[in-house]
Amino acid sequence: MVAISKIATGNGHGEDSPYFDGWKAYETNPFHPIDRPDGVIQMGLAENQLCFNFIEKWVMEHPEASLCSAEGVNKFKETALFQDYHGMPEFREAVAKFMGKVRGGRVKFDPDRIVMSGGATGAHEMVAFCLADPGEAFLVPTPYYPGFDRDLRWRTGVELVPVVCESSNNFKITRAALEAAYEKAKEANLRVKGLLITNPSNPLGTILDRDTLKGIVKFINEKNIHLIGDEIYAATVFMEPEFVSISEIIEEVECNRDLIHIVYSLSKDMGFPGFRVGIVYSYNDAVVSCARKMSSFGLVSSQTQHLIATMLSDDDFVDSFIVESKEQLFKRHEYFTLSLSEVGIGSLKSNAGLFIWMDLRKLLKEKTLDAEMDLWRVIINEVKLNVSPGSSFHCDEPGWFRVCFANMDVNTMEVALLRITTFMHKHNEAMVPRKLCRRASLKLSLSRRRDDFMSQNMMSPHSPIPQSPLVRART
Amino acid sequence: MAAISKIATGNGHGENPTYFDGWKAYETNPFHPTDRPDGVIQMGLAENQLCFDFIEKWLMEHPEASICTAEGVSKFKETALFQDYHGIPEFRQAVAKFMGKVRGDRVKFDPDRIVMSGGATGAHEMVAFCLADPGEAFLVPAPYYPGFDRDLRWRTGVELVPVVCDSANDFKVTMDSLQSAYHKAQEANIKIKGLLITNPSNPLGTFMDKDTLKNIINFVNEKNIHLIGDEIYAATVFMEPEFVSISEVIEEVECNRDLIHIVYSLSKDMGFPGFRVGIVYSYNDAVMSCARKMSSFGLVSSQTQHLIATMLSNDEFIDNFVAESKERLFKRHKYFTWTLSQIGICSLKSNAGLFIWMDLRKLLKEKTFEAEMDLWRVIIDEVKLNVSPGSSFHCHEPGWFRVCFANMDDYSMEIALSRIRNFMVKNNETMVPPRNKLCRRTSLKLSLSRSLSRKMDDFIMSPSIMSPQSPLVQDRT
């Protein structure tokens, strides 16, 4: 037997959790409106599929964005040869501008601080390599995206220490929670190097308010630890209040900028996870320099840099896209949460993200993790929906589920809602037609018809499921 | 001062300031036929620029290869959403087929073993993470590509132990040198986990004969260590003998296949370094599975997967491309080495790669690396050529330089050659008229009566090859 590495034989890849049962169920029997109408509907993938017609229209009007069209082929050679880890200047400028626009033009990003990476996946690993040594740790508020366990720890040897957030205060990140986590790390002899926040939050769909952000910036300055802000969902804030970025806060409070780093990507805001456009934006020159060298391990394809540079430097398109995307997300979220509340299902009040944080605590047989897993299996096997159990996000309290709503067409969503309704009926939950769920505060009149939420140009995707059922990258 | 990591503050990134001078000289004053005719000509970048007209023609005839054309946009959404680390099936199939064709269809590659990575750069790092723990080591025959120091070691903590190869036997990888390096590592208490060979070789431009490969396979099996074959230059073999891949040799000798891994990329064979198409092909299921999960850190853009899948599944295009590319490389190499030999400059006899391994030992003031660096600075500052000194490749012996010939158009090459000629004349080196001396090392079958005035035309490439637009390439190859 030939020896390979410990990293290879261990399970730091994070794929051993029971979480995978849901994926298997989906993969063996994926929903299709005609071919497999009883198949499992994928609601565990945080994709943004709502604006492709908008994007495709632009693509058709701008053949120069492609290297393979008559209008763009004169750039084919220089682009195919371009492997400079600084990245194409136009690409960096366009991304910097986009990031600024997504923040309402309230802050400007310097194109020279834009560093590429292999998606946000590569970005997080890269930041961990730059900031921490093996055995050192980052604080991460729970619940958090399961991929962090792999991205930040697997090949780096860095540890994660959870900052436990509670439903009783809507999972806010409190000073007390931060201090508690910091102390716990100290007791375990773990040196905390930084704090990683995801804002807007995955899986919560909420954003951090200004005071919380200021408190966080204060905290990390006091402890002299880094702050990594994953702002991958920045453009998915579809409702007031407006998103506040770390980049804005540091203009308002005292802060050592060498501690501040932002991770970004086009996977959620634009719906381009396949294009692997990851960005590390650091205010620390040494980190920018190191990250840039490391980016060689995961540069963005120059073909894609060219497409993105052309697309995102079109101000009209970007401005319209951002507005359109928010509108589509708002409508979808509103309809989804309203329909759920009508069958007595609440979710955390949210105004961002591609999912809701669904509250099914009252459906648990008992307040345990096992009961959550039991309920989850029922949802997969009987209701035939693949949703993500809160425990996979390290949620402290059982009964919460992340349910994605932006990765399917309207018809599929209707089928999903119907199945949920049927399930709730069967379980004798009070089917109270007019009752509003406390947590989802809807200002709509209940007689509002579904039609109000349908956008005329929302089309069925050609293929409601990804071509390849074997989608392993969980988001 | 906020603490960052040791990796970040160290110099494992491998960017040795010693060699910056050449790059700086080029970047501050890059050659341009009209704007900067006295600028530095870039001969330190192993790029393949010879077949773009061929490729661009195919692109124009196949708009469906792009997801942004009318013919391709129906695939835009599903492609933009596709992030499955297994990769697009058509992409894997096309790459597997291409790899087979490049090896004359003497061997078949299994599409299910194709794993993506962030270029060959990402592939090498990924393989190191899969095979070795921090502190363990790979043997690497020297001279070798300088990027290995960063790719295999920087973030992994893995060590490299050079296998010293000698000019006396044309830098062949011998059993003695392997055993010697292995034992040296053992004495230093370093655990050897594998042997990394680059075949065809960078910087030598040679490739290993079957016997050498068989011996290498015996060696790794005996020691129970991994064999990583970087075959990134496989399609650049432009002259007999035919390339022999590890994948072929393991069909012929006893071998534990769990030890065998191939690193590949489209950066050299196709000329697409910007597209970051790195491939890890392992015969070891556990490694393949682990690598696939790790590929999340450096997947190939689905947009690019789609383009490559369409391109490389076109059999006719591939067959023609492979033949055309060899033909153009052959011509360029021939003309370049022949012209150099006319002015008394020899190079290692080679039949692959995008460069020659130029022998300037006789120009050294003394047989030292300082003298090599002095000569190098002269070449940059006076001859105005950016070439790569052998020491940057960990060559054991001073005086060798890697000089790239496939990254420029004919005109630039002529300028480069005339500069070399002038330099040699100025330095009173024997400017040998065409009739006489052939460089021993470059075996040319040309008739000696061939005059220097024989038109370049025989070797001239298609006039559509243009100068590179962007000279600012930081990534050294």
Residue bearing tokens 């049927």:
A422
Is B144 in the active site? no
User: pLDDT for B88-131, tens place per residue?
Assistant: 999 999 999 999 999 999 999 999 999 999 999 999 999 999 99
CB half-sphere exposure, B194, CA atoms < 13 A: 27
Catalytic residue among B232, B279, B343, B420: B232
Minimal Cα distance from A307: which residue of B?
A: B68
> Of B47, B171, B141, which is closest to residue B441 (Cα–Cα)?
B171
Answer whether A84 sits within 8 Å of B474, measured CB to CB: yes
Mutate which of A6, A20, A66, A463 to disrupt the B interface (most B C-beta within 10 Å)? A66
Q: Return the DSSP state at B352.
A: S
Mutate which of A68, A71, A145, A221 to disrupt the B interface (most B C-beta within 10 Å)? A68
Q: Is the pLDDT of residue B451 over 90?
A: no
The amino acid at A420 = I
Answer whether A275 sits within 8 Å of B302, measured CB to CB: yes
* Contacts of B169 by beta carbon, 8 Å cutoff, 6+ apart: none
Nearest CB to B474: which of A86, A193, A300? A86
Distance from CA of A266 to the nearest CA of B (A): 10
Estimate the crossing angle of helix B315-342 against helix B89-102, to 10 degrees. 40
Answer whether A133 sits within 8 Å of B6, measured CB to CB: yes
Interface predicted TM-score of the whole assembly (ipTM), two decimals: 0.91
Catalytic residue among B97, B268, B334, B349: B268
Is A443 in the active site? no
Minimal Cα distance from B301: which residue of A?
A: A275
A-chain residues within 8 Å CB-CB of B119? 83, 296, 299
Confidence category of residue B436, pLDDT binned at 50, 70, 90 = very low
Kindly report whether the peptide bond that precedes residue B203 is cis, defined as omega within 30 degrees of 0.
yes
Mean pLDDT of chain B: 90
Mean pLDDT, residues B370-398 taken together: 96
pLDDT at site B17: 77
Answer whether B297 sits within 8 Å of A118, measured CB to CB: yes
pTM over 0.95: no
Q: How many CB atoms within 10 Å of residue B364?
A: 16
B-chain residues within 8 Å CB-CB of A472? 84-86, 293
pLDDT at site B439: 53
Question: Domains in chain B and their CATH numbers?
Answer: 14-52+319-426 (3.90.1150.10), 65-314 (3.40.640.10)
Q: Is the pLDDT of residue B430 over 90?
A: no
Residue A212 to residue A227: CA distance in whole angstroms: 14
Mutate which of A1, A2, A82, A459 to disrupt the B interface (most B C-beta within 10 Å)? A2
Between B281 and A444, the more confident residue is: B281
A82 alpha carbon, distance to own chain's centre? 30
CA distances from B435 to A44, B306, B346, B446 (A): 75, 53, 16, 11
pLDDT at site A222: 97
Residue B16 to residue B20: CA distance in whole angstroms: 7
Nearest CB to A297: which of B125, B226, B474? B125
Asked if residues B153 and B144 have their Cβ atoms less than 8 Å apart, the reply is: no
Q: Splitting chain A (475 residues) into consecutive groups of 10 residues, what average pLDDT does each group show?
A: 89 77 83 95 96 97 96 97 97 98 97 98 98 98 96 98 97 98 98 98 98 98 98 98 98 97 98 98 97 98 98 98 97 97 96 98 96 95 95 96 96 96 79 47 38 35 31 41
Mean pLDDT, residues B167-195 taken together: 97
Is B460 in the active site? no
Distance from CA of A345 to the nearest CA of B (A): 30
Distance from CA of A102 to the nearest CA of B (A): 21
What does the CA dihedral B420, B421, B423, B425 come to, rounded to 10 degrees?
160
* Contacts of B57 by beta carbon, 8 Å cutoff, 6+ apart: none
Mean pLDDT, residues B449-457 taken together: 36
Q: Which ranges constitute the DSSP H helices of A31-81? A: 52-61, 76-81
Residue bearing tokens 């260590």:
B225
Residue A151 to residue A159: CA distance in whole angstroms: 11
A-chain residues within 8 Å CB-CB of B4? 130-131, 284, 286-287, 290
Is B225 in the active site? no
Residue A423 to residue A169: CA distance in whole angstroms: 29
pLDDT at site B446: 37
B-chain residues within 8 Å CB-CB of A85? 474-475
Nearest CB to A15: which of B83, B156, B293? B293
Answer whether B469 sits within 8 Å of A272, measured CB to CB: no
Mutate which of A79, A297, A299 to disrupt the B interface (most B C-beta within 10 Å)? A297
Q: Return the DSSP state at A336.
A: H
